[in-house]
Structure 1
Amino acid sequence: MDDSAATQNGSSESGSMSAGAAVVEVKLPNRTVLILYGTETGNSQDLAEDLARRLRRIHFSPTLDEMDGVQLLTLLKYTLVVFVISTTGQGDMPRNSRSFWKSLLRKRLSPTCLERLRFAAFGLGDSKYPEFNFAIRKLHKRLYQLGAKPFLETGEADEQHPEGVDGTFLQWAEDLSNRAIQAHPLPEGIDPIPDNELLPPLYGLDLAPINMFPEIPEEDESQKSPWKMDEDGRLTFDFAPEPLEGEDVIRAHFLRTNESTSRIFRRDDHRVSDTQVDCGNILRDHPAAYGVLDPPPQQNSLWEHNIPIPQSWMATVTDNDRGTNFDHWQDVRSFGLELESKISTAKKKDVVPSIRAGNTLVIFPKNYAQDVQRVVELMGWEDYADRSVTFRSEKSDGSGNLMGIPKGLYPRMPSRTLRELLTHNLDITAIPKRSFFDQIWHFSSDEYHKGRLREFTDPKLRDELFDYTSRPRRTMLEVLEEFTSVKIPLQYAATIFPPIRGRHYSISDALVSPDYEKTEVRLLVALVKYKTVLQKTRHGLCSRYIENVQEGSRFRVQVGGTPWRVPLQVPVIAVATGTGVAPMSLFFKDRDQERGETNIAIGCQDLMFYGCRHPEKDNLITADNFEELNVLVRTAFSRFDGANSKYVQDAIRLYEGEVAELLQNNAHIVICGSSGRMPEAVKQAFVDVMLKRDLYKTEDAARNFLKPRVLEDTW
């Protein structure tokens, strides 16, 4: 390869390539591929980017985007279209794919409108849920109905596979590449790009010229530009997103002008101190089993600046209280916020967020200044960490960029500095995946480090990768601290570090003010500290963020999730454990109000089984308040000697008469809480009750009765 061609994009001040230069891709006709993904957590996006790298090596020109980022006719412009989509909720499409999905469902579409489309599809799901991979199956069926032709058999990954998603994905991705080469052979003299050759970055980042953003003169207040100059001489963008339209956002069940019923939860009158936090799920064991020690308090100022998150609401923290006793090992926050309404230019009035049971509040955390500085030092970015950066619009060969800015990344451009990008947008403490190692080994100057990093990309050594990353929850930053020879060029920062994704929290209460200017929202957030096999205390990024947020802090949030759909005409048996009781609160408030407005009476109480460890230490509810909503509460306490029931499944069997009566009245079941063994144990308890009470003769018949009546919201 010509050395002059294989050069790094950008000037030397943008970071040097310490371990070789990127190849120049050959652009060939009729080799375009559109890779679309639908994701809530970023897993599908990670796989889509993996596919893009694989197809680039056989000289396809890929374009990556969210499914909602393209129009239907766009599909016909590409040689091949690949879909990668996760299933969320109750067999639902991810949020960033729902508009595209609705466009596919239009009745006026001709059965032959997509007959020129060749597509491949890969789904991510979890077989422990009944709606396993529903999203990809629905998508495949609809595309086929519209005349599209499958290019490859659809792949379905299962989280329960012994090898996880990779157990299916790696072979499917290889089959896709082989099929693409077979259908579109390379011209003579053009060979695939070897795996040991570095590809140009998917998302090219460069330093902006120093004079790129000149000072803005002062203007009349009514004519002011949204760009502002801060005291440090940097431009900032005063972001005001367009209000959401087309939503039935002012619903009768929110118009509660009386005192908020959020007092349904027990909240001790204590302010949270320096308690450290968390991992994704509440630990099953007492933290003594993990040898947890409190680290010294972090000295960090709160993060400034709000990133321009689309379809977001400005939120102000009203309180951040502890909901569990201080002598209890687990800290659960009762976290209150006020969401400001938007002014709708179309409706000429305030618009409030539409919130139902099942909706979540999405909070976007930020990295700590110490962690950001450590990355800057390790990568050798000190000289330009506070310079403005810009995303390239073209690749080195002059062809169009794959995608200017990664989807899910919301930089405040054009004045964003590298340090701000690392603080607000790039997840430098994420648990690294195989693709991370597949890229960073190129930038190591040490042969031993390079070989060790490459081992983590070998599918045959996936157990080693798991033991090194997932088991100890080792972060990308810690990997870079261990492999100090790795020096990632600035241009690759947004390609290698994933975007910081918002974290979803169930909403326990939502109260619109009488003047519609704000909506009071309450969350229950479990903050957990734990120690890994590395003997190092771990802190979840968002929980650490929430830990430091003070009253009066302001930041942007989204409303996410999928509203629950349960008929009003039937009774409900709810099962909640721990913070799983949060959405149950809003759910029963909505049902009580809607039944009153529609004069629906079911002739019996709803029933809720609630489980926690101890009635005085981590009990998050007051049963009397639920009973005011016509809900009978039965409790189970797993660490209390005087409890009638230890676990919620025990309580279901103990109160079998009440359960059987509601099931005979066509009751629906809502399960919320831990996604471990609890949901299946609960469903088995219902089956046992039905068999014991002779509602059904066989277990299969009982499970068939339950299947369409069970709604699970677990994590």
Structure 2
Amino acid sequence: MTTISLDPRLSLSVSKNHHHHHGVVMEEIEGLIRVYKDGHVERPPIVPNVSVAVASELGVTAKDVVIDKFTNLWARFYVTNCNKKLPLLVYFHGGGFCVGSSSWSCYHDFLAKLASKAGCLIMSVNYRLAPENRLPAAYEDGFKAVMWVKQQAMISSNELKWWLNQCNISSMFLAGDSAGANIAHHVATQLGSLEPSTLKPLCLKGTILIQPFFGGEARTQSEKHAIQPSNSALSASASDTYWQLSLPVGANRDHPWCNPLAKSATKLGDLKLPPTMICISDMDILKDRNLEFCAAMSSAVRRTSDTAMEDKLKLVILYGSQTGNALDAAERLGREAERRGCPVTVLSVDEFDASSLPNEKTLVFVVSTTGQGDTPDSMKVFWRFLLQRNLGQHWLDGVHYAVFGLGDSGYQKYNLVAKKLDKRLADLGAVAIVERGLGDDQHPSGYEGALDPWMSSLWKMLYLKNPKFFPKGPDFVVPEMKLMDQPKIQITYHDVEKVHTQFSTTTDLKSNEMQIERARSMSPGKFSHDKNRPDCFLKMIRNDPLTRADSGKDVRHFEFEVLSSVIEYEVGDVLEVLPGQSPVAVDAFIQRCNLNPNSYITVHPRGTQNHIVNSNVPIQLKTFVELTMDVASASPRRYLFEVMSFFASAQHEKERLQYFASPEGRDDLYQYNQKERRTVLEVLEDFPSVQMPFEWLVQLVPTLKTRAFSISSSHSAHPNQVHLTVNVVSWTTPFKRKRTGLCSAWLAGLDPQQRVNIPVWFRKGSLPVPPPSLPLILIGPGTGCAPFRGFVEERALQSISDSTAPVLFFFGCRNEDNDFLYRDFWLSHSQNGGVLSEDKGGGFYVAFSRDQPQKVYVQHKMQEHSKRVWNLLSNGATVYVAGSSTKMPSDVFTSFEEIISKECEVPQEAAMRWLRTLEKAGALYCLVFKNSFMGKLDFLSELESWCFNHGLRTVFLIIESFSSEPKLEADVLSSPALFLLRSNSLR
């Protein structure tokens, strides 16, 4: 076995043109390489060389193998400890052809993890370096290494069976970063020039080029002006020096080895190149050069599927929306495509025949994630169809797609639906046009913070695939968008006298139900999965503060009685409440828009008259606004400002609205609109010259949505009641304006003595409760305790007639006297043999974070009672965590790891894997998560789901930084032709 050591002889005090015992320094890249006049080369040991040792948990064995002892050509192999045949990835390291080694720690760690997580066998080639061995030495070594693999396979060398027996050499890929990517490309070119029979049994399936190191005499814009990270290893001058040291003496940077697009180079279209994935970075000085290469590859390696696309040149955008955000994003994508001259169709997934997917050649999916990683209701049938096993891995061959997800990174299963859809489409043979986009509600600009750059990439990649999508280019848009002649909906006004007696023979409750059903059925913001008619109406019978008035928060306990209906629900279920709006705000909106509140209307899509049952029954305009249009709570979308600009008669208002609607004005719009939580009514009042038709307002004003609350009671304990624990939301905007949550403030303001009918819907919750024979561990600080109150009530009733397993509950609040929610309830069940009592094996422990100088949280109480926690965990307990704190879930799970590690005497990494197993087994649930915890468990789950597909349809790369701890930069989904990666530079 051979290892290569970097030359440690280095005197950093010597610089270019300074004398040394080797003479004058002729070429130098500071800290990387120094070449003296006598030919001596010094390479500082900037990265340590490491042995073949690999962390045992990766399940990978690494060995060094000599290929040619005369040229000192060797390779480091990474073989997973399994008995399956795996594809072979031949990897070439970077370093400008002049520095680097397969034994560098950064490459060793990266490739060991890649072999483990991607399921492939890796051969890392240690080629000869320049200037001692100028090009084509590295190309020759790469070609020789590949042909050596062929030779070993043919002779079935016993000495090398430890990797040959696991190698599927008929599925080989070439890959590399920087100069290594350049080598991979030129080796692939040389292999492509051979007769296929010459390579057998080898078969080159594809190449992966990560920021390929190319050059040219003429500078590109990114080479001139790119803003690089401070630790970037490649500058324009360093690039020039690398080429000076590695190209044949006398050659310039337009040599074909440096510039594959130079006039002297063979045209890419004349080369027999395999499917190629190209990864490009925004912050790399070679970005523009790589984009040029990418475009040239795209036009040279035109796929038959591209030809098929030309026959049906149409962009189909399908959305799966629960609350309307995905619909908004999809419609915006459709408008932007139309502005660029692209034919487009926008549909909900439940309006699309899933079996016809193979007939659509270009699809864009915009999908939201709800609950605990659930698909939207409108997408459930579509998703079940896609999961059919009989579809096969080639069902979507020839289909190109893109996925944009909407989610909240505060939840553990952030954008899970988009991630699963992305993977499933690739598994069925479809090809990604662009890396999936993930919109985040936590971003200052909401999901649009990710949508705007993703949309720009989508247009560019569509144009690269087929310029006919955008005849004038992806950046050309109609200077001033022409509104459709008419809005999408139509309003018909009816004679008041004919409809005035519609409800004269019905009861008040039945009248309310019919009004709500009619209004919601006509709302353009509704979905086919929505239930227009409420499940029932509730009457509030208790409205009790749970916190002291001076505590700084207002948490209420509400009890409701069910009216004229029999309902059933389970603990852990959710109640959706349709809030009432301020009559003053509704009247102000109607007056501002010059509407007649007493007129009767029907609303339907333009061109139809009766699209939904009951939509032809008129409803009073004011009632329609009250029940469907959120005029005084939700902030409007950007599109409203764009449409308003066309109805503004004052020039300064028109210009301001146009600016807000533009990409340049996005940040200012965020400050004015979202951050201030400006309402539609306030926006209209700020622009008094705008007079919009009611049709446009109905289409664009946010839909009044139900609000969901965890039920905090047991139906068994309260057969005709529902209890809620609600934090009355209030905050102050940056401009010191007081704001309150619409629904929570409305409920808090209701008087139980008044007879207000509250429309509600029951929904299955995301916290399923195990049978009474299984123990429970509950962690719920603050209002996170809400569902657990129902859990305890249910378990207490069960314990009367049957034996029940222990329940352990950790609660947290600030002060014992101010916000100890349900104090008497918890204490009563933790004493005298109650279900939370220690003598039953459970317990109730409270962390008061502010009652002592040192803050105490629920995780500290868990540590105090670690033996009790572990006792229940080891006996099959189900764990539930609920709360809204940013750090709480992460700290709780760190505490679990530490408890398991301590009580079992195992490393904390093993404890984390044990927790992961618990979650997969359905014994761990979290109602709210924040980003910090995602880093712990989602990282593992993402890696576990990666695959290395033989057809190069799905390739995931772990990208690491040389100067810091390993980190996951991006999961890269490939196209058979090329891929554009937008991330920080890897150099």
Could you tell me the TM-score, scaled by structure 1's length?
Answer: 0.71
Q: Distance in 2 between matches of 1:78 and 1:519?
A: 51
Within the candidate set 810, 813, 816, 1:615 is matched to: 816
Q: Distance in 2 between matches of 1:585 and 1:413?
A: 45
| Counterpart residue number, 2:481 | 197
* CA 1:132–1:704: 2 relative to 1, 3 Å: farther
Partner secondary structure for residue 709 of structure 2:
strand
| Counterpart residue number, 2:907 | 697
| Counterpart residue number, 2:743 | 542
Could you tell me the TM-score, scaled by structure 2's length?
Answer: 0.53
Within the candidate set 373, 387, 393, 1:91 is matched to: 373
Q: Structure 2 matches for 1:671-690, cutoff 5 A?
A: 671-690=881-900
Q: Structure 2 matches for 1:405-420, cutoff 5 A?
A: 414-420=617-623
* CA 1:109–1:76: 2 relative to 1, 3 Å: closer
Within the candidate set 464, 484, 487, 2:691 is matched to: 487
Q: Distance in 2 between matches of 1:411 and 1:637?
A: 54
Q: Are 2:468 and 1:185 equivalent residues in the alignment?
A: yes
* CA 1:361–1:392: 2 relative to 1, 3 Å: closer
| Counterpart residue number, 2:591 | 377
Query: What 5-or-longer segments of structure 2 have no aligned partner?
Result: 1-309, 518-529, 837-841, 930-987
Q: Distance in 2 between matches of 1:417 and 1:125?
A: 36
* CA 1:130–1:216: 2 relative to 1, 3 Å: closer
Q: Distance in 2 between matches of 1:638 and 1:435?
A: 45
C-alpha contact 1:204 1:404 (8 A) present in aligned 2: no
Q: Are 2:667 and 1:456 equivalent residues in the alignment?
A: no
Q: Distance in 2 between matches of 1:183 and 1:167?
A: 27
Within the candidate set 524, 536, 553, 1:314 is matched to: 536
User: Which region of structure 1 is more displaced relative to structure 2, 629-638 or 199-208?
Assistant: 199-208
Q: Distance in 1 between matches of 2:497 and 2:398?
A: 45
Return the offset for 1:314: 1.1
* CA 1:166–1:679: 2 relative to 1, 3 Å: same
| Counterpart residue number, 1:133 | 415
Give per-residue Cα distances to partners, 1:544-570, cap 9 Å, x unaligned: 332344444223311235332465565
Within the candidate set 598, 603, 612, 1:391 is matched to: 603
* CA 1:45–1:61: 2 relative to 1, 3 Å: same
Q: Are 2:570 and 1:355 equivalent residues in the alignment?
A: yes
C-alpha contact 2:393 2:429 (8 A) present in aligned 1: yes
Give per-residue Cα distances to partners, 1:79-103, cap 9 Å, x unaligned: 6443212223332223332233233
* CA 1:595–1:35: 2 relative to 1, 3 Å: farther
Amino acid aligned to 2:835:
L
Return the offset for 1:118: 4.6
RMSD over aligned Cα atoms: 4.1
How many residue pairs align between the two structures? Answer: 584
Return the offset for 1:492: 0.6
Identity %: 27
Within the candidate set 579, 596, 611, 1:365 is matched to: 579
Within the candidate set 545, 555, 571, 1:332 is matched to: 555
Partner secondary structure for residue 371 of structure 2:
coil
Q: Distance in 1 between matches of 2:591 and 2:443?
A: 39
| Counterpart residue number, 1:15 | none
Return the offset for 1:522: 1.0
| Counterpart residue number, 2:651 | 447
* CA 1:186–1:447: 2 relative to 1, 3 Å: same
Q: Distance in 2 between matches of 1:369 and 1:646?
A: 45
Q: Distance in 2 between matches of 1:649 and 1:508?
A: 23
Q: Structure 2 matches for 1:237-386, cutoff 5 A?
A: 238=514, 309-310=531-532, 312-328=534-550, 329-339=552-562, 352-357=567-572, 359-379=573-593, 381-382=594-595, 384-386=596-598
Q: Distance in 1 between matches of 2:492 and 2:411?
A: 48
Q: Structure 2 matches for 1:529-678, cutoff 5 A?
A: 529-551=730-752, 552-565=755-768, 568=771, 571-590=775-794, 605-621=806-822, 622-627=825-830, 628-630=834-836, 631-641=842-852, 646-665=856-875, 667-678=877-888
| Counterpart residue number, 2:492 | 208
Partner secondary structure for residue 661 of structure 2:
coil
| Counterpart residue number, 2:713 | 509
Give per-residue Cα distances to partners, 1:415-449, cap 9 Å, x unaligned: 13433222110112312343333332232222222
Return the offset for 1:229: 8.0
| Counterpart residue number, 1:706 | 915
Q: Structure 2 matches for 1:62-77, cutoff 5 A?
A: 62-73=344-355, 75=357
Return the offset for 1:149: 4.8
C-alpha contact 2:537 2:757 (8 A) present in aligned 1: yes
C-alpha contact 1:527 1:543 (8 A) present in aligned 2: yes
Q: Distance in 2 between matches of 1:31 and 1:236?
A: 48
Return the offset for 1:595: 8.6
Q: Distance in 2 between matches of 1:510 and 1:566?
A: 12
| Counterpart residue number, 2:524 | none
Q: Distance in 2 between matches of 1:66 and 1:702?
A: 43
C-alpha contact 1:333 1:524 (8 A) present in aligned 2: yes
| Counterpart residue number, 1:250 | none
Structure possessing the higher radius of gyration over alpha carbons: 2
C-alpha contact 1:512 1:520 (8 A) present in aligned 2: no
* CA 1:420–1:61: 2 relative to 1, 3 Å: farther
Larger RCO (CA within 8 A; separation ≥ 6): 1
Q: Distance in 2 between matches of 1:565 and 1:115?
A: 39
| Counterpart residue number, 1:262 | none
Partner secondary structure for residue 780 of structure 2:
strand
Return the offset for 1:125: 3.1
Return the offset for 1:376: 2.5
Partner secondary structure for residue 93 of structure 1:
coil
Partner secondary structure for residue 537 of structure 2:
strand
Return the offset for 1:678: 1.8
Q: Distance in 2 between matches of 1:107 and 1:341?
A: 46
Q: Distance in 2 between matches of 1:147 and 1:227?
A: 56
* CA 1:160–1:561: 2 relative to 1, 3 Å: same
Amino acid aligned to 2:864:
L
* CA 1:427–1:89: 2 relative to 1, 3 Å: same
Return the offset for 1:322: 1.3
Q: Distance in 2 between matches of 1:57 and 1:48?
A: 14
* CA 1:373–1:124: 2 relative to 1, 3 Å: same
Q: Distance in 1 between matches of 2:650 and 2:541?
A: 50
Q: Distance in 2 between matches of 1:213 and 1:152?
A: 57
Partner secondary structure for residue 500 of structure 1:
coil
Give per-residue Cα distances to partners, 1:382-437, cap 9 Å, x unaligned: 3x443233335446xxxx99x979xxxx9965313433222110112312343333
C-alpha contact 1:428 1:475 (8 A) present in aligned 2: yes
Q: Distance in 1 between matches of 2:864 and 2:855?
A: 8
C-alpha contact 1:323 1:620 (8 A) present in aligned 2: no
Q: Distance in 2 between matches of 1:704 and 1:330?
A: 38
C-alpha contact 2:571 2:712 (8 A) present in aligned 1: no
Query: What 5-or-longer segments of structure 1 have no aligned partner?
Result: 1-27, 218-225, 242-307, 343-349
Q: Distance in 1 between matches of 2:486 and 2:905?
A: 58
C-alpha contact 2:412 2:928 (8 A) present in aligned 1: no
Q: Distance in 2 between matches of 1:500 and 1:29?
A: 43
Amino acid aligned to 1:638:
S
Partner secondary structure for residue 523 of structure 1:
strand
C-alpha contact 2:631 2:681 (8 A) present in aligned 1: yes
| Counterpart residue number, 2:947 | none
Larger % of helix: which? Answer: 2
Q: Structure 2 matches for 1:6-85, cutoff 5 A?
A: 30=312, 33-59=315-341, 62-73=344-355, 75=357, 80-85=362-367
